[in-house]
Amino acid sequence: MKSSLAILIAGTALLIGWPVFAHHSAAIFDHEKQVTLSGTVKEFQFTNPHCWIQLLVSAGDGTAEWSIEMGSPAHLIRSGWKRNTLKPGDKITVLVNPLREGANGGGFVSAIGVDGNPIGTLP
């Protein structure tokens, strides 16, 4: 009887916790590819649960906006980022794992400023 109760409790805990694991999946990004984007920061969203960079990149027929997903603010702070690290109008180069579906977006890998220095030090 005690083992049945233990199995029931463990099963319930797994079911309750499953949405948390699903939320943090990075399966939407193609980790086999990396794309380098040079552009102008439109917006830097330093918010939970994930920070975002909206980057305007020159395209053949104008400008394309890319949405770049980063880690949480707490993760970025530990890596040297601050709320004001990026400002609209900043020119940066970003390395991303692109979205598998092909839309203009990706998962953040690294960034450098116009001076050639890395921005933050994400492990």
Q: Give the CATH number, domain containing residue 97.
A: 2.40.50.140
Domains: count for the chain: 1
Residue 42: other Cβ atoms inside 10 A: 16
Tell whether 79 is covered by a domain.
yes
Higher pLDDT, 60 or 121: 60
Tell whether 5 is covered by a domain.
no
Tell whether 121 is covered by a domain.
no
Residue 114 exposed, middle or buried by CB count within 10 Å (0-12, 13-18, 19+) = exposed
This prediction has a pTM of 0.77
Q: What's the average model confidence in pLDDT over 8-25?
A: 50
Please give the pLDDT value at position 25: 74
Please give the pLDDT value at position 38: 97
